[in-house]
C-alpha cells in the first residue's frame, strides 16, 4: 500500500511541525505543497497528480484554502477539511444557521445589510451587543456595541470598508468573566479545553490579541 499523503501550507507553524514529525513517526510519507508555489489546472480534472489521494489543508489564509480545496476536490482528492466544512465553519452566519437548525444553544444573533436595519436589529437584541465580520478570525474587528451612539459610529466606519464588512452579523453580548473557554472536539469527545483570559486593555479573550491561557 502506498502510504503517501500531502499537506498544503503557507506557513510552517509549530502545529505543522508537529504534523510533519508525527507523520515521520508513523512512517507515513508526507509531501509538502507551499501554496505560494503551486498553480492548478482547472480543466484537467481527470488526474490527481501532482497531488496525493489525501491532503491536509493547513493554509493560514482562509480564502486561499477555500479556493484551493475546491479545486482539488473536483479532481477527486480528499481534502481535510473539506470545502463544505470549511465554508460553513469559516463563516459565522452559516455556522449559526447550522447550530440553530440542530437546536444547539448559541448566542442570539441577527443579520442586517444597512446601518438603519442594523440599528433596528440592535434595538431588538438590546445593548450591549457584538458586531462581527461573518468571515474573520483571531478576534479581528469583533466590536462591542455599548449603546446606540457607539453602534452608529462603528457601523458608519464599516460602510467605508470592503463590502464583506457590510454584512452585519450582530450578536447578543454574553455576560461573562474576563475569560472564556475554548474546547477542541474530535468526533463526540472534548479532547482539550483552555481558559482564555483577556489582556489588560482588551475585552476579547483571543490569544492572537494577547490573551493568556
Partner 1 sequence: MKGKCPDCSAEIEIADDSIEGEIVVCPDCGLELEVKKNATGKIELRQITIEREDWGE
Ligand X SMILES: Nc1ncnc2c1ncn2[C@@H]1O[C@H](COP(=O)(O)OP(=O)(O)OP(=O)(O)O)[C@@H](O)[C@H]1O
Nearer to partner 1, 131 or 135 (CB): 135
Subset of 83-142 contacting ligand X (CB under 6 A): 107, 130, 132, 136-140, 142
CA distance 62 to 32: 18
Helix (H, G, I), strand (E, B) or coil at 199: coil
Residues that bind partner 1 (CB under 8 A): 9-15, 17, 20, 32, 34, 36-37, 60-64, 90, 135-138, 140, 162, 208
Measured N-to-C along each axis, helices 148-158 and 115-125 cross at an angle, to the nearest 10 degrees, of 140
Nearer to ligand X, 5 or 197 (CB): 197
CA distance 205 to 213: 9
**83 interface partner picked from ligand X, partner 1, none, CB below 5 to 8 A per type:** none
CA distance 84 to 104: 20
- Selected range binding ligand X among 23-31, 73-81, 112-120, 174-182, rule: CB under 6 A: 174-182
Q: Which of 59, 79, 71, 65 is nearest to 5 (CA)?
A: 79
CA distance 30 to 51: 11
Nearer to partner 1, 133 or 155 (CB): 133
Are the C-beta atoms of residues 150 and 128 closer than 8 Å to each other?
no
Residue from 19, 32, 77, 173 binding ligand X (CB under 6 A): 173
183 belongs to the binding site for ligand X (CB under 6 A)? no
Q: Which residues bind ligand X (CB under 6 A)?
A: 107, 130, 132, 136-140, 142, 171, 173-174, 176, 180, 204-206
Amino acid at each position: 500500500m502506498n502510504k503517501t499523503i500531502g499537506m498544503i501550507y503557507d506557513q510552517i507553524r509549530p502545529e505543522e511541525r508537529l504534523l510533519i514529525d508525527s507523520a515521520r513517526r508513523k512512517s507515513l510519507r508526507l509531501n509538502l505543497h507551499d501554496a505560494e508555489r503551486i498553480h492548478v489546472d482547472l480543466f484537467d480534472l481527470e488526474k490527481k497528480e501532482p497531488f496525493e489521494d489525501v491532503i491536509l489543508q493547513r493554509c493560514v489564509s482562509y480564502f486561499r484554502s477555500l479556493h484551493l480545496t475546491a479545486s482539488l476536490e473536483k479532481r477527486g482528492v480528499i481534502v481535510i477539511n473539506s470545502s463544505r466544512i470549511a465554508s460553513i465553519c469559516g463563516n459565522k452566519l452559516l455556522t449559526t444557521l447550522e447550530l440553530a437548525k440542530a437546536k444547539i444553544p448559541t448566542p442570539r444573533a441577527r443579520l442586517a445589510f444597512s446601518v438603519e436595519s442594523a440599528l433596528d436589529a440592535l434595538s431588538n437584541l438590546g445593548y450591549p451587543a457584538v458586531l462581527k465580520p461573518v468571515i474573520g478570525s483571531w478576534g479581528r474587528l469583533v466590536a462591542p456595541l455599548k449603546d446606540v451612539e457607539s453602534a452608529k459610529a462603528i457601523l458608519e466606519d464599516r460602510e467605508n470598508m470592503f463590502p464583506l464588512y457590510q454584512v452585519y452579523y450582530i450578536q447578543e453580548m454574553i455576560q461573562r468573566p474576563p475569560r472564556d473557554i475554548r474546547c477542541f472536539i474530535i468526533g463526540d469527545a472534548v479532547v482539550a479545553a483552555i481558559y482564555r483570559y483577556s489582556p489588560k486593555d482588551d475585552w476579547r479573550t483571543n490569544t492572537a490579541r494577547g490573551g493568556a491561557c
